[in-house]
Structures are given as C-alpha cells and as structure tokens.
C-alpha cells in the first residue's frame, strides 16, 4: 500500500455528524473550524485526510510560498516581488501541526541561514503560511500551549497571520479550515479557546456489533487492495466534491430571513450562551447548510442542524461539569421552532448515500489503531519494608498529654469489623469547593508551561540572552546575536558566525504534578470528616484545573493502596473518581506511601521537568497487617531522604480527649508540612502547596 493512498472520505462508516461538520466548514471557512472530541480510533484523522483528497486542486502563483490566488493576489504578501503571470495547480494542502511545535515553526521566523551567510534579514514562512487556502490539522489540540492555540485561532478567525518578532514585521493571508482533535480524558481546553472553534463534534466508536463489523470489513478491504477500494468509492467521493463546489457557489445567494435570525438569537439567549459568537457561528452554519442542501433560503431545519454543531460546547458550565449532552438544546429547538410547513428539509436527489443530516457516512481511523477500552482505576499492590526489621516506636507521640493507650502502638479502626474487609463501605460526597485564587512562589523551576509556579519557559518575561544551541527549535534573539557579534570583532560592520547566535531566556509560569494520597479506611471515622477531606481535595483539584497542573490520585483502604488515577491533565476525571471512592476497612499506610513514590518516580522518568508535590490526607493510623505502624514509619523515614515535597493533612479528630499525633509524627519523618484538617481553608492549604512547589 502506497503511503499516499488515502482512505476515501465517502467510505468512512458511522461518523455522519463529523463528516457534515467538516463539509460545512469547507463550504464556509468563516464558520471558524471544527473541534473533534473523542477517543482514539474513531476516524478523526482519516476523515480530515479524506476530505483534503476530494477537494479540487488550487490555482496558485508560481514561486509564491504563500499560495496566493492568481485572480486575487495578496498585495501585502512577502513574496509579492516574485509574483508573475505563471500559474500552476497543486493539491489542497493538509498541514499537520505536531504537539511539540515551537512558536517560530507555527507563525514563521527569521531565515537563519541567510542571516548568518550574508546578514540578510529574510522571513521564513511557518505552518500558517503553508496552510493558506487549505486544511490545518492539529491533533491533541488541548495539549498545545495556550499561546500557540491563541495564534491558530486568531489566524483562523481573521484570515491573516501577523508576525511581530525581532527584526521581522510581516502580515500575510492565512485562510484555512482549522480542525483540532482532542481526547477529553487528557485535559480540557480553556473555555475561552473552546468558544473560538466554530463547530464541535463528539465522536465515539459504535457499540452496535453490526456497525463495528462493517467498519472492520471496510478497513480490511482497504488494506488488502487499496487501489481497488479507492476506485470503488471514487464516484461517491466525486459526488461529495461536486456538492461542496456547488454549495460554495450558491453560498453568497442564500437568504437569511429576519424571523430565522430572531429564532437563532432567542435560542442562544435561552441556552445560556456567553457572548455573541455563538449566534454568529450558528447563523453562518445555517446558511452553509442551506447551500449544502441546495436551498437559497435558510429554514428552521437548517438552524436545528447548525445549533447542534455550534452551541453545545459554548454553554456556560463549571469546571467539573460533564459535557452537555444536547438534551436541553433539543427541547429549546422544539420550543422556539417557528410553526411553518415550509421548514421541512428538501430531499437531495444528488446524494443518495448521505446520512440523515446530509453528511457523508463515517468509518475507521487509518491513523489510530483500534478503539481503546475505558481507563479503569489501576490497582497497584505495593510492598512496604519488611515487617521483621527492628524499629523503635515513638514513646511519646506529639499532641498527646495523656498516657498512651494500647492502640497507640498498633491502632485499630473504630466502628469497622477488621476481620471482614468486604463489609459495607460508605460513600460521602464532597461539599462546595473553596474559591481558588492566584498564588506565587519564590523559587524558579525548569518546568513545562502552566500557570502555577515561576519557571524558565518558552514564553514569558525576557531575562537575558544565552547561546542558541538548536537553531531549529529555539527562537532567535536578534539583539543578543548582534551584540555578541559586535563584542567579538574589532572592525566596524556586522560579521555573523554560528557561535554569535543567541536566544532569549524567558521567565514564565509552570504546571506541576500534584499527587493526592487519600486515606479511605475505616479509621477516618465520621462522615463529617470524610466530607471535609473530600471538599479540601476537590478545592485543590479546582485550583489545579485553573493552573494547568497534572494530578494523580492514590487511595488506600482495606489491604491495598490503589493508583486510582495515573497522572493526567484531566482534573475532572479525578473529581469524578473521588466522588465514587467508598470508605471503610483497614489502613495500609506504608503501601500508600510507596505507591505515591512510585507514581512520582514513573512520571519523573516521562516528564523530568515537571516538579511533583504529594498531598497525603490521613490520620496516620496504620492497621493493615502485622507491624503496620512500624512499617509505615520506616517507609516515611526512607522517603523523607528522597527530596520529594510532601504535605500531610492531619485527619485525626482534634476534639478527642486522647490524640495519638501519628500524622504529625509522619510529617516529621517525611520532612513534610503538617496541617490539621480542622484548620484547612482554601487559602491555607493552597499556600502550603505552592510554597512546597516552589521549594521543589
């Protein structure tokens, strides 16, 4: 199979909404692109590549790196000097933007070879220029730094890219259809960025066995004989191309009646959509859908289709709310639909294979292998230090003025039958999270871009110019480069050599890894304390959502510690998981400490620049197995030498007549800050978290 062979757009099975959204975005690029949310293996990249393959070739001015149209050249094009009368045709560009792309690669930069060779200041076009009059595909757009997403969406909305860098000031046309894909399990887009995408489609693999069989057969037939498969679907792809072309031609003639425009405005207001962008995009999409269906007047059915694609991702919601299912939207559409017999959609005799909304059928993703199962909690059985090791227990635990009761050495869970860990465990929901606020730290890290701790990052405040080691992946500091050249030569003029190149060292904000280790055993006692604990953790999760941290969750109860959530940027997964955690059973504290350290170690190997913090919420009692308390203390002594920052939130009942002080002793052994649960407020706990992050 040739690498250039593309799975036919019309052969994709089961993704009607995605096919329709992509088609409408091509018919009317002013819509603003498409965001595709869903798991891997659901034909996202396949449909984008297939769409590019059916679009007619472009006529461009020969030699123009910006693909200027010969009938309407861009007079501000940096290549206007080479514009001539020679016209060539080329396929519509499909430009794929990798997650690790630098800002220079996206928007363009100085041509370093020319600068070093001759001192010429020339502009090197970026991906935005290559995507002009084509498609720009961004996989995992939610993992891109916010400033890059802003640049993409600004260009997509304005149709022009502006590059203002040292010694470079360039504007050029950048009209393209932006398609971004993301898996919500890996983190969300900021609402401000989410709103900038014109349309949004949620995709998922079908749960119908017959549909899945059809997908598999199509994929296997394509792999067995791609040329024959493409030829078989060639006529259908040609029909799609012809329909797109006809809709583009008809689009300027489509009328949007006042009563339909009023319906759109009323619907958006009732649906609680922020701003007016939703109204505008819905109107543009309705016009494009009317043209797609061959109509010259927009109907209520066009509005219905447009609203389904343009509004659900714009509805105002809280950070931990789930995605809008669209049920409320359907009710509002029925409520505000004008009563007119003319609102029924016209059948399209030219496209018998179209889905119910006029879109092409969907299918397997050639680039993503398989549909992954869900991500269940990973049960991690961990071993603490051997219980046979001789370790002295503290004779006078802190915060206890009374004689030590027997359970101080080997505490047992109160109100829990330890002989039967399968006994019923209770669930308690969290209360209202505390309000998050911006905090700062003193130390400077080397972490990834975020909004938490101060760090050396790709964007931010200029500190100084340093040698440029990798010209292809780092931005050039022209001022620093010229200064280095001037200092290095005794004669007037500029003579640049590679060793003169400098880049700007910038100070910005980083994101951190916060590992929550939550005691869910029976020793946690009353439901009131469980609710306080969950509320405190949810407050930190809300703060992590706003600061772009990664989070992980370890729970421990019964006879094991469980890595309930591996490090992820999707804090809403952590919040949902926390709400489902039951309490009860023994307290495997040593195993929990080891599990948390293993999470930190694994993530440090994958992402060494992200600084960790472990937040342990427990009363310090250890009751799982022989010598449980001494094993936990030895483990804490060992981990305290590793340098990982910890915070111990003490869940022991501070009103008790006799307090064991085990959590405070644990904090001393870990080198951690100690905070009684009764004193936890949003500002108090988050200040400690950020101070520890800064010290990491």
Distances in Å between the Cα of 284 and the Cα atoms of 25, 142, 279 are 10, 25, 9
Better-scored residue on pLDDT, 219 or 359: 219
Tell me which of 499 and 138 has the higher pLDDT.
Answer: 138
**Residue-by-residue DSSP string for 189-246:** PPHHHHTTSSEEEEE-----HHHHHHHHHHHHHHHH-HHHHHHHTHHHHHHHHHHHHH
Of 124 and 176, which is predicted with more confidence? 176
Instruction: Quote the pLDDT of residue 369.
Output: 41
User: What's the pLDDT score for residue 153?
Assistant: 79
pLDDT tens digits along 406-444: 333 344 443 333 334 433 444 444 444 433 323 233 344
Residue 657's pLDDT is 65
Mean pLDDT to the nearest integer, 298-325: 79
d(CA 200, CA 194): 9
For the stretch 461-504, pLDDT in tens is 555 677 777 655 556 676 677 767 766 665 555 677 777 777 76
**Catalytic residue list contains 277:** yes
Within the chain, all domains assigned CATH 3.40.50.300 are found at 10-56+92-343
CB 511 within 8 A of CB 610: yes
Rounded to whole angstroms, the maximal C-alpha distance in the chain is: 98
Q: Give the mean pLDDT of 354-363.
A: 44
| Per-residue pLDDT at 689 | 60
**Is the confidence at residue 668, as pLDDT, over 80?**
yes
Q: Give the best-scoring range by mean pLDDT among 23-37, 117-131, 324-338.
A: 23-37
pLDDT score recorded for residue 601: 92
Using DSSP's 3-state secondary structure scheme, residue 263 falls into: helix
Q: What tokens does 233 get?
A: 């679907």
- Element of type H or E holding 509: strand 502-510
pLDDT exceeds cutoff 60 at 333: yes
Q: CA geometry: angle at 689 spanning 686 and 694, to 5°? A: 125
Query: Has residue 694 got a pLDDT over 90?
Result: no
DSSP 3-state helix, strand, coil percentages of the chain (rounded to 5)? Answer: 40, 20, 40
**Mean pLDDT along residues 571-583:** 70
CATH superfamily of 511-695: von Willebrand factor, type A domain (3.40.50.410)
Q: Which residue has the higher pLDDT, 400 or 53?
A: 53
Query: Are 377 and 560 contacting, i.e. CB atoms less than 8 angstroms apart?
Result: no
**CA distances (Å), 406 to each of 237, 394, 600, in order?**
79, 13, 35
Kindly list the distances between the CA atom of residue 373 and the CA atoms of 217, 351, 370, in Å, as whole numbers in the listed order. Answer: 21, 35, 9
Q: What is residue 673's predicted lDDT score, i.e. its pLDDT?
A: 83
The pLDDT confidence band at residue 34, using thresholds 50, 70 and 90, is very high
Q: Compute CA 125 distance to the chain's CA centroid, rounded to the nearest angstrom.
A: 27
CA separation for the pair 660, 657 (Å, rounded): 10
Q: 3-class SS at 589?
A: helix
Q: For 99-108, 256-265, 666-675, which range has the lowest pLDDT when averaged over its residues?
A: 99-108
Given a cut of 50, is residue 373 above it in pLDDT? no
What is the CATH T-level fold of the domain 10-56+92-343, as seen in this structure? Answer: Rossmann fold (3.40.50)
Rank 226-230, 346-350, 543-547 by mean pLDDT and report only the highest. 226-230
Cβ-contact 514, 611 below 8 angstroms: no
Three-class secondary structure of residue 616 per DSSP: strand
Q: How confident is the model at residue 643 (pLDDT cuts 50, 70, 90)?
A: confident
What number is the average pLDDT over the span 290-309? 95
* % of the chain exceeding 90 in pLDDT: 26
The ranges of the chain annotated as CATH 3.40.50.410 are 511-695
pLDDT surpassing 50 at residue 365: no
Query: How many CB atoms sit inside 10 A of residue 121's CB?
Result: 13
Give the length of the chain: 696
Q: Which residues pair with 314 in a beta bridge?
A: none
Q: pLDDT tens digits for 83-94? A: 877 889 888 999
Average pLDDT, the chain: 75
Beta strands 123-125; 199-203: pairing state: unpaired
Please state, in angstroms and rounded to a whole number, the distance separating the CA atoms of residues 375 and 75.
52
Contact status, residue 61 vs residue 83, Cβ threshold 8 Å: yes
State yes or no: pLDDT of 396 exceeds 60. no
Rounded CA separation 12/50 (Å): 9
Lowest mean pLDDT among 7-11, 59-63, 426-430: 426-430
Residue 235: predicted pLDDT:
94
d(CA 466, CA 481): 9
pLDDT above 60 for 367: no
Mind giving me the DSSP string for 99-160?
TT--HHHHHEEE-HHHHHHH----EEE-HHHHTTTEEEEETTGGGS-HHHHHHHHHHHHHSE
Which residue of the set 65, 160, 212, 277 is catalytic?
277
Contact between residue 531 and residue 515 where contact means Cβ atoms under 8 Å apart: no
Q: Is the pLDDT of residue 520 over 90?
A: no
Average pLDDT over residues 335-345: 57
Q: Within 10 Å of residue 91's Cβ, how many Cβ atoms?
A: 12
Please state, in angstroms and rounded to a whole number, the distance separating the CA atoms of residues 619 and 616: 10
Q: Which residues contact 352 (CB under 8 A, 6 or more apart)?
A: none
Percent of the chain with pLDDT over 70: 65
Q: How far, in Å, CA of 310 to CA of 327, rounded? A: 15
Q: What is the pLDDT of residue 379?
A: 41
At residue 358 the predicted structure's pLDDT band, cuts being 50, 70 and 90, is very low
Q: Which residue has the higher pLDDT, 325 or 602?
A: 602
What separation, in Å, do the N-terminal and C-terminal C-alpha atoms of the chain show? Answer: 51
| C-alpha span between 566 and 553 (Å, rounded) | 7
In terms of C-beta density within 10 A (0-12 exposed, 13-18 middle, 19 or more buried), how is residue 69 classed?
A: middle
Q: Phi, psi at residue 455, to the nearest 5°?
A: -160, 165
Please check whether residue 596 is in contact with residue 554, taking contact to mean a CB–CB distance below 8 angstroms. Answer: yes
- What pLDDT does residue 213 have? 93
More confident residue, 14 or 457: 14
Q: Is the dihedral of CA 380, 532, 678, 396 positive or negative?
A: negative
Please state which of the ranges 9-18, 390-399, 606-615, 636-645 shows the lowest mean pLDDT: 390-399
Contact 455, 490 (CB under 8 A): no
């Amino acid at each position: 199979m040739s690498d250039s062979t593309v799975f036919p757009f019309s052969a994709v099975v089961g993704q009607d909404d995605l096919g329709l959204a992509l088609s409408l975005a091509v018919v009317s690029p002013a819509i603003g692109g498409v965001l595709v949310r869903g798991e891997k293996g659901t034909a996202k990249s396949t449909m984008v590549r297939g769409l590019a393959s059916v679009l007619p070739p472009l006529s461009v001015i020969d030699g123009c790196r910006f693909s200027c149209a010969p009938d309407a050249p861009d007079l501000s094009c940096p290549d206007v000097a080479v514009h001539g009368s020679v016209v060539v045709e080329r396929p519509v560009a499909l430009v794929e933007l990798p997650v690790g792309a630098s800002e220079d690669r996206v928007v363009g930069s100085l041509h370093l070879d020319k600068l070093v060779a001759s001192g010429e200041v020339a502009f090197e076009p970026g991906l935005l220029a290559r995507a002009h009059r084509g498609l720009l595909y961004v996989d995992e757009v939610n993992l891109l730094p916010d400033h890059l997403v802003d640049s993409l969406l600004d260009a997509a909305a304005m149709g022009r890219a502006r590059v203002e860098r040292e010694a470079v000031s360039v504007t050029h046309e950048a009209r393209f259809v932006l398609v971004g894909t993301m898996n919500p399990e890996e983190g969300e887009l900021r609402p401000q960025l989410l709103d900038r995408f014109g349309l949004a489609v949620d995709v998922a693999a079908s749960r119908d066995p017959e549909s899945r069989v059809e997908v598999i057969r199509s994929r296997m037939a394509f792999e067995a004989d791609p040329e024959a498969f493409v030829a078989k679907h060639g006529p259908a792809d040609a029909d799609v191309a012809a329909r797109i072309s006809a809709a583009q031609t008809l689009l300027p003639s489509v009328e949007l009646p006042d009563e339909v425009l009023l319906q759109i405005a009323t619907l958006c207001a009732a649906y609680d959509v922020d701003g007016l962008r939703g109204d505008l995009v819905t109107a543009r999409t309705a016009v494009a859908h009317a043209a797609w269906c061959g109509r010259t007047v927009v109907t209520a059915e066009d509005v219905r289709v447009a609203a389904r694609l343009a509004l659900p991702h714009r509805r105002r919601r809280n950070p931990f709310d789930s995605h809008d299912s669209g049920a409320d939207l359907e009710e509002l559409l029925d409520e505000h639909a004008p009563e007119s017999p003319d609102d029924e959609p016209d059948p399209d005799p030219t496209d018998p294979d179209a889905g119910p909304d006029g879109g092409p059928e969907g299918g397997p993703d050639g680039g993503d292998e398989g549909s992954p199962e869900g991500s269940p909690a990973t049960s991690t059985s961990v071993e603490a230090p051997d219980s046979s090791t001789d370790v002295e227990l503290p004779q006078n635990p802190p915060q206890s003025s009374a004689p030590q009761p027997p359970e101080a050495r080997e505490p047992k869970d109160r109100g829990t039958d330890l002989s039967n860990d399968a006994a019923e465990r209770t669930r308690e929901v969290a209360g209202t999270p505390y309000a998050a606020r911006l905090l700062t730290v003193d130390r400077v890290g080397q972490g990834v871009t975020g909004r938490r701790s101060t760090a050396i990052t790709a964007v931010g405040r200029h500190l100084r110019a340093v040698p440029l080691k990798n010209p292809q992946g780092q931005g050039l500091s022209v001022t620093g480069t010229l200064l280095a050249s001037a200092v290095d030569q005794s004669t007037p003029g500029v003579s640049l050599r590679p060793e003169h190149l400098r880049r700007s060292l910038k100070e910005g904000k980083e994101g951190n890894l916060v590992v929550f280790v939550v005691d869910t055993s029976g020793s946690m006692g009353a439901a009131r304390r469980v609710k306080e604990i969950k509320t405190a953790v949810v407050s930190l999760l809300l703060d992590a959502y706003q600061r772009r941290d990664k989070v992980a969750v370890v729970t421990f109860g019964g006879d094991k510690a469980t890595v309930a959530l591996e490090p992820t940027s999707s804090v809403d997964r952590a919040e949902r998981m926390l709400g489902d955690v039951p309490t009860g059973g023994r307290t495997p504290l040593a195993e929990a400490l080891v599990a948390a350290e293993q999470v930190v170690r694994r993530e440090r190997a994958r992402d060494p620049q992200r600084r960790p913090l472990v937040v342990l919420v427990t009363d310090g009692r250890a009751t799982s197995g022989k010598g449980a308390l001494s094993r936990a203390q030895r483990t804490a002594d060992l981990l305290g030498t590793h340098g990982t920052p910890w915070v111990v939130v003490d869940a022991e009942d501070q009103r008790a007549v006799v307090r064991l002080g085990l959590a405070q002793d644990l904090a001393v052994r870990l080198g951690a800050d100690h905070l009684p649960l009764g004193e936890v407020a949003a500002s108090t706990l988050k200040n400690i978290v950020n101070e520890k992050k800064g010290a990491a």
